[in-house]
Chain A
Amino acid sequence: ILNVEQSPQSLHVQEGDSTNFTCSFPSSNFYALHWYRWETAKSPEALFVMTLNGDEKKKGRISATLNTKEGYSYLYIKGSQPEDSATYLCAFSGAGSYQLTFGKGTKLSVIP
């Protein structure tokens, strides 16, 4: 069973603050790293898929970076807004399997 760790488990930030959180995954047999955003009472929605070491992706105020050699990815949110409140999931895909292994998520609460 692959180990995909996300930290912190939860955090509270003030509106306007920038924040970031981490996803750690096995550095061997890497194929792809996915980020999903999951709002309460809704379904997970895809944010990014990254495959190359050094990849950086951006969508509005949200960006992500990838380091496959050391096995981590950072998700950054610039100028957090209350609508950014959600659980952010990362999922690892290895070269030997078609399955995604999800982390437990980081729950972000943005306080107005």
Chain B
Amino acid sequence: NAGVTQTPKFQVLKTGQSMTLQCAQDMNHNSMYWYRQDPGMGLRLIYYSASEGTTDKGEVPNGYNVSRLNKREFSLRLESAAPSQTSVYFCASSPRTGREDTQYFGPGTRLTVL
């Protein structure tokens, strides 16, 4: 049982390049989330998907797009990477979007934009 998986683990981009971060969960959860973690900051929500076919903006959505490909997969795309997007990105999932539902986190993707 893998839980939440993310690829890649590490990535270095040049300013202006694009890339997609992949996330998959095998727990049959309805809801999925993308967060970023920056030094001295709490985890901040970028986008979330309450259920297959829906996505909503979080606290810091600018510069990102997401796709809920199916129930298992939720991808995060950077169309034109900027140095300000250097961060560690975490994907998470929960059974529902209930406010009391535990979120299960993936291992993270460390992204550096030069």
Q: Which of A46, A97, A105 contacts B42 (CB 8 A)?
A: A105
Q: Point out the residues of chain A lying under 8 angstroms from B44, CB to CB.
A: 102
Whether B40 contacts A31 by the Cβ 8 Å rule is: no
Whether B107 contacts A43 by the Cβ 8 Å rule is: yes
A4-46: which residues lie under 8 A (CB-CB) from chain B?
A: 4, 31-32, 34, 42-46
Distance, CA A93 to CA B104, complexed state (A): 16
Q: Point out the residues of chain A lying under 8 angstroms from B41, CB to CB.
A: 104
Whether A49 contacts B102 by the Cβ 8 Å rule is: yes
Whether A31 contacts B99 by the Cβ 8 Å rule is: yes
Distance, CA A102 to CA B44, complexed state (A): 7
Interface readout for A82-112 with B: 1 if CB under 8 Å, 0 if not? 0000000101011101111111110000000
Q: Point out the residues of chain A lying under 8 angstroms from B106, CB to CB.
A: 43
Whether A102 contacts B43 by the Cβ 8 Å rule is: yes
Whether A89 contacts B108 by the Cβ 8 Å rule is: no
Q: With A99-B48, A104-B41, A105-B42 as known contacts, state yes or no: A49 contacts B100, CB within 8 Å.
A: yes
Q: Point out the residues of chain A lying under 8 angstroms from B101, CB to CB.
A: 49
Q: Which of B40, B99, B105 contacts A44 (CB 8 A)?
A: B105
B24-61: which residues lie under 8 A (CB-CB) from chain A?
A: 40-45, 48, 50, 58-59
Distance, CA A42 to CA B9, complexed state (A): 12
Q: With A103-B42, A104-B41 as known contacts, state yes or no: A32 contacts B102, CB within 8 Å.
A: no
Q: With A89-B42, A102-B43 as known contacts, state yes or no: A46 contacts B50, CB within 8 Å.
A: no
Distance, CA A106 to CA B107, complexed state (A): 20
Q: Give, as a whole number of angstroms, the nearest-CB distance from B43 to chain A.
A: 4
Whether A42 contacts B43 by the Cβ 8 Å rule is: no
Q: Point out the residues of chain B lying under 8 angstroms from A43, CB to CB.
A: 4, 90, 105-108
Whether A89 contacts B43 by the Cβ 8 Å rule is: yes
Whether B102 contacts A31 by the Cβ 8 Å rule is: no
Name B4's closest neighbour in chain A (CB-CB).
A43
Q: Point out the residues of chain A lying under 8 angstroms from B42, CB to CB.
A: 4, 89, 101-105
The 3 closest A-B pairs by CB, nearest first: A102-B42, A93-B99, A43-B105
